[in-house]
Structures are given as structure tokens and as C-alpha cells.
Amino acid sequence: MIERYTLPEMGRVWSDQHKYELWCRVETLVLEAHAAAGRVPADVVQPVRDAAPPTPARVAEIEETTQHDVIAFLTAWADNTEPRSAAAYVHHGMTSSDLLDTALAVQLTEATDLLLARLDRLVAVLRDHALAHRDTIKVGRTHGVHAEPDVWGHRVADIAFAAARSRDRLRAARERVGVVAISGAVGTYSLIDPSVEVAVADALDLRPADASTQVVMRDSVSEWVACLAIVATVCETVALEVRHGQRTEVRELSEAFGSGQKGSSAMPHKKNPIRSERIAGLARVVRAAVVPVMEGIPLWHERDISHSSTERVFLPDAAITTDYLLHLTTGLVADLVVDADRMRANLESTGGLIYTSSVLLELVEGGASREDAYALVQSAAMETWNSGTPFRETLRKRAADSGVALDEARLDEICRPERYVANLGPLFDRLAALS
């Protein structure tokens, strides 16, 4: 991922330097387990442990010749080992994927922990924002069209729960990707004892893979990426809500606009939802990772490395982008400008059409058939749409023409927006308990 969208902690997780540090750690743990079992000389452990990780530049230089990154790494690290002869026992009984998949599991869990911390913050800011606006009346929309009265906090609460569920999915996925595979060339432990795998897993606070055939099956990695895609799309849901709300014709929501900020190079009046649009665009990047990574599950007879090049691109990019998206979305919600007066004005802009559902039920409960009541209310509503005459007026006219008596006092009661949201208390109680 380009530097523009990379935050320091997550960038560090996926840096080449950190990767080689992890490779050193895994190889050292394997060597220690061999030495403890008496399979290699005990005096080689300390020199290897003390050897500095090779630099990415040195590994790349050697790889130009070897065309094999693990061999290049082992050679560069051996050059840092004193005496160099101790390095002869590094990678003992292992295959490349033992090292690669185990170190990748550490990277995935480290990245996940950063993402889970950001999700905690996003859930909290969404929860608190929703609770602060549990009484902020607005019009609810379906298909972009005014429907019934609602409160802004209800919409935000829905997203808050989705963010919490996304966090739960990612936490479960962390457990499945956090596996160690130290099983040898085709995963049969032919040249390495299974106890080594267990020892390495314990030291890394991971678990041994249930099975591996030189590589770990990519279903769990695919699940992890899919979880990130859902997280990114929940972030986009927030962004889309703001983008719609900031449209000039709506003007109910807006991103914070700082002093000195510019909205357009040509039109000085513009205040554009640029953060929301960035979120929407980057969510596509994360979703784009799902299928290529998933295609790493079926490999050629019985395994190949076609998944490797895909994952070198998409795993860091998906994690780094999701990290940035969570950062952006949390800030977007924390600084969001909500225009409650404009929400109320928009709610009232259709002349009472938002109360047709209650009027319909009132007529049915008064003895009219549903078909007749619907026809009466719809005809009055269509006249309001076409003429701009307030709905109560068109309703009175149509009711009089049809010989239907209206209880005006009752209509006053049911045509109040607060009545529509009176039963949302339990929802906000559940939200308040969300952590």
C-alpha cells in the first residue's frame, strides 16, 4: 500500500525488516527445540540467537542470484553469525513454507490485534454518537424517498451493532489464522519431530496447524480477508450515509471542515465530503482482495506457490487499508456535524405525507376495509405530491367525498413524529450495553 494510506504501526507489521526479524525468531525457536532434544549441538544456539537480522537490502542482493527469498535470507543471516559454522544447523529439517507460513501467522495476528483495537474505538464512538442522538428526529427513508419519522440515533445504532459483529468475526478469524506449521517438505514430519512444532507454537502463543501439506490450507486466510472486507464495507456504510446527508438538497449531515481547508480548486464555495469519498474508494480495494486470496485454497498437485505472489500484495494491502479506513471512519463520526433543525425541516417538507401509514391503520381500526382505506389515503397522498397541498387538507377532501368521517383530534395525536419512535427504548438500552 502506498505511504499516503499507511499508518506507522500497521506499516511496521508488514515491513520487510519486521518480516526478517520474525523469520529469525521462528528459525531460532526451531533451533532451540532441536537443541533441547539433543538433535543439534547446544552450543550453536547462542551464536544464532545473537546474530543480527539481515537487512532487506542484503537479502535482495543475494536473491538476485539465488532467485529464492528464503535461501537469500538464510545466507545473509549466516553472514551475520559468529562463528558462521553455527548457522549450518539453522532451518534444520524445515522447508521454506514452514518458515513463511509460521511467520505469516504472527504477522496476521499482530495486524489483527491492531485492527481489533481500532474496531473497539469505532464501536465506542458510534455507540456514543447514537446515544447522543436518540431523540434527534429525522425522516426515515427507503429507496431514498421519505418514509416515516425516525431518529438519527437509530440509524447510527444499526451501524454500531454491525461494527461490533464485524469485530467479533475478526476476533474469531484471528484464532484460525494463528497457526504454526513446522512439518517438513510435504508436511509428514519426516525430518523434523512434531514436538518442534508444538514448542514453537507455545513460544509464539499460537497453536499447531491441524494439518499441513507443506503449506497451510488457505481457507482461514481467506476468511480473514473476507472479515476485513466486511469491516471495510461497514465503514463505507457510514461514509455513504454522510455523503447522502451532505448533499445540498439534504444538508442534514456534514464532515467537519477545518480552517484553511479547500473544497474545490475552481469553486470556492464547495464543502465536499472528501473523507467519506476516500472511505468509499478504499473499501473497494479491500473487497478486491477476497477473490484472489480465496483462489489460493486450491493448489496444484499437491501444492504450489501461486498463492505466494498474491498474498505478498493483497494481505499487507488489505490490512493496511482496513487500518486506515477504521482510523478515517472513527474520526468522521467523532467530528460529524449533525443539523437537527434541517432534519426537522426535511421531515416536514412533504406536508405530512410521512404519516400515511398511521392514518391507514387508523381508518382500518375505525371499521374500513384495508383496500378502501388504502385507496382513500393513497389518493389524498398523490394529490399532495402533485399539488403541494398539505396532506391533512387533501385527506379531509377525499374523506368527505367518500363519506368517511375523520376524528381530527385523533389525527392530531397520530400525526406526531415522536409517536413513531416511542418504542425504540429497548434498542437504545441494548446499545448502551454495547462495549
pTM of the predicted structure, to 2 decimals: 0.94
Amino acid making up residue 74: L
β-bridge mates for residue 253, sequence order: 338
Residue 251 DSSP code? -
Q: Where are the alpha helices (DSSP H) in 51-95?
A: 56-66, 69-79
Question: Which residues of 269-366 form beta strands (DSSP E)?
Answer: 337-338
Question: Which residues of 228-333 form beta strands (DSSP E)?
Answer: 253-254
Q: Which of 378, 383, 376, 365 is nearest to 401 (CA)?
A: 376
Q: Tell me the average pLDDT of the chain.
A: 96
Could you tell me the pLDDT band of residue 331, with boundaries at 50, 70 and 90?
Answer: very high
Could you tell me the pLDDT band of residue 262, with boundaries at 50, 70 and 90?
Answer: confident
Least confident of 106-120, 283-297, 400-414: 400-414
Could you tell me the pLDDT band of residue 260, with boundaries at 50, 70 and 90?
Answer: confident
Task: Give the gyration radius of the chain's Cα atoms.
Answer: 30
Report how far residue 154's alpha carbon sits from residue 63's, in angstroms, rounded to the nearest whole number. Answer: 56
Report how far residue 208's alpha carbon sits from residue 215's, in angstroms, rounded to the nearest whole number. Answer: 13
- Asked about 143 being catalytic, the answer comes back as yes
Report how far residue 398's alpha carbon sits from residue 360's, in angstroms, rounded to the nearest whole number. Answer: 13
Q: Is the pLDDT of residue 258 over 90?
A: no
Q: Please report the pLDDT score of residue 267 as a whole number.
A: 82
Q: Single out the catalytic residue among 68, 85, 190, 264.
A: 264
- The 10s digit of each residue's pLDDT in 151-188 is 999 999 999 999 999 999 999 999 999 999 999 999 99
Q: Please report the pLDDT score of residue 419 as a whole number.
A: 95
Q: Please report the pLDDT score of residue 64 as a whole number.
A: 97
Q: Single out the catalytic residue among 143, 269, 301, 435.
A: 143
Grid cell at residue 118: 481500532
- Asked about 92 being catalytic, the answer comes back as no
Amino acid making up residue 84: R
Query: Which run of H or E residues covers position 221?
Result: helix 219-245
